[in-house]
């Protein structure tokens, strides 16, 4: 069955349909990951987005029970060059096609993903839609151009009620802006006793739990669409150690007077080199974000930049000068991706222990 991918600039790609038989509208982006498509699709940071995989074959090892980053993915669609209909891996429970059908996510295969990626790199990410081959394209383009993409993305993916992930060690509050399960996994490996709270939780609620530390998680969309988080961060910093990842990093920077901006096509993939300024150490990192912290707006009396992206020089990490708080733009939890950044979870443990000793 034919399916079309249309872009708001008038471009049309024709391919074959797989996954769910639905038409969707979203922001089309690309990821350079060579593996880990299950983790990518189930990462809530892709909320509302149509994911283009630059790697030519996707789906060859199926979908399994261990690699979910969320149970209910909210990306809009999947674009691939070649869709592997058979899954050959001992862990596979279903094919990618079956998985997408169950989750209500459409896919398109057989298009020139290199041409699409080059367009996104030169023009920037844009609105796109999956439509049927026999649809009235003039009408579909009018509909696409008129569509306003939602701004409440974090509210769509954050938990609505607090829940625990019991452990026997340090008490950590996890503020869920669209978390990946791998963040909880890494904290649990370190015996942390976790309490996961909604994105709009107040500082008072957090501090009443007497946490040893607070994790600000990843999530989708523009950090400026989550103003309530800034008040919370301002009220807890200095009272409890903080570790922020991805959107959590951007929100922490905003709360301390910095500004953020929308990138042309963002960072999405597993091969982004990041330099730690103090040591010169290079980590290859997993990234998924379309916004970044503006370096020129970072107040040197409050924050100092700890990491930069080697390719484009963008800000990849900050630390507070007075308070026990640090953040990174990339995903040290990986999943998928290199594990170079896992040491940051250990640094968070050390930060919490040092803070307790001061009390």
Residues 114-157: tens digit of each pLDDT: 999 999 999 999 999 999 999 999 999 999 999 999 999 999 99
Model pLDDT, residue 113? 98
Mean pLDDT of the chain: 97
Residue 156 in marked binding region: no
**SS3 state at 16:** strand
* pLDDT over 80 (residue 359): no
Alpha-carbon gap, residue 144 to 127, rounded angstroms: 7
Alpha-carbon gap, residue 68 to 44, rounded angstroms: 11
Model pLDDT, residue 67? 96
* pLDDT over 80 (residue 82): yes
Q: What is the pLDDT averaged over residues 248-256?
A: 98
pLDDT level of residue 251 (50, 70, 90 thresholds)? very high
Residue 96 in marked binding region: no
Alpha-carbon gap, residue 147 to 142, rounded angstroms: 9
Structure confidence by residue, pLDDT tens digits, 305-344: 999 999 999 999 999 999 999 999 999 999 998 999 999 9
Q: What is the pLDDT averaged over residues 44-68?
A: 97
CB 62 within 8 A of CB 36: no
- 112: tokens are 């020139």
Q: What is the pLDDT averaged over residues 22-34?
A: 97
* pLDDT over 80 (residue 112): yes
* pLDDT over 80 (residue 178): yes
Residue 329 in marked binding region: no
**SS3 state at 56:** coil
How much of the chain exceeds pLDDT 70, in percent? 100
Model pLDDT, residue 51? 98
Residue 286 in marked binding region: no
Model pLDDT, residue 2? 95
pLDDT level of residue 202 (50, 70, 90 thresholds)? very high
CB 138 within 8 A of CB 114: no
Which residues are annotated as catalytic? 246, 331, 333
Strands 242-245 and 325-328, sheet pairing: parallel
Which residue segments constitute the domains of the chain, with CATH numbers given? 2-149 (3.50.30.20), 154-357 (3.40.50.880)
The neighbouring-strand residues paired with 337 are none
Alpha-carbon gap, residue 266 to 251, rounded angstroms: 17
* pLDDT over 80 (residue 291): yes
Model pLDDT, residue 358? 84
* pLDDT over 90 (residue 81): yes
Model pLDDT, residue 76? 98
Residue 219 in marked binding region: yes
CB 246 within 8 A of CB 221: no
């Amino acid at each position: 069955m034919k399916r079309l991918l249309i872009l708001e600039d008038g471009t049309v790609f024709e391919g074959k349909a797989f996954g769910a038989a639905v038409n969707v509208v979203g922001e089309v982006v690309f990821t350079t990951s060579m593996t880990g498509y299950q983790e990518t699709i189930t990462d809530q940071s892709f909320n509302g987005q149509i994911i283009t995989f630059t790697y030519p074959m996707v789906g060859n090892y199926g979908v399994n029970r261990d690699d979910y980053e969320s149970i209910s993915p909210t990306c809009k669609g999947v674009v691939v060059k070649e869709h592997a209909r058979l899954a050959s891996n001992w862990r596979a429970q279903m094919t990618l096609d079956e998985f997408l059908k169950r989750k209500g996510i459409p896919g398109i295969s057989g298009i020139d993903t290199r041409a699409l990626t080059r367009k996104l790199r030169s023009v920037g990410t844009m609105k796109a839609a999956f439509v049927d081959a026999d649809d009235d394209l003039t009408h579909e383009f009018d509909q696409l151009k008129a569509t306003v993409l939602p701004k409440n993305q974090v509210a769509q993916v954050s938990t609505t009620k607090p829940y625990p992930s019991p452990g026997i060690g340090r008490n950590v509050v996890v503020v869920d802006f669209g978390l990946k399960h791998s963040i909880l996994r890494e904290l649990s490996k370190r015996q942390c006793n976790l309490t996961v709270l909604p994105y709009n939780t107040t500082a008072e609620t957090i501090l009443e739990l007497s946490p040893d530390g607070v994790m600000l998680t990843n999530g989708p969309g523009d950090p400026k669409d989550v103003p309530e988080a800034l008040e919370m961060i301002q009220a807890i910093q200095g009272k409890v150690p903080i570790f922020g990842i991805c959107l959590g990093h951007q929100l922490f920077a905003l709360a301390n007077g910095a500004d953020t901006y929308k990138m042309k096509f963002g960072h999405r993939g597993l091969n982004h080199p990041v330099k730690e300024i103090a040591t010169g150490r290079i980590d290859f990192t997993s990234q998924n974000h379309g916004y970044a912290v503006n370096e020129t707006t970072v107040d040197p009396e409050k924050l100092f930049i700890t990491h930069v992206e080697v390719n484009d020089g963008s800000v990849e990490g900050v630390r507070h000068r007075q308070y026990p708080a640090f953040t990174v733009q990339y995903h040290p939890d990986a999943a998928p991706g290199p594990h170079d950044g896992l040491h940051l979870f250990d640094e968070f443990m050390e930060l919490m222990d040092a803070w307790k000793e001061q009390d």
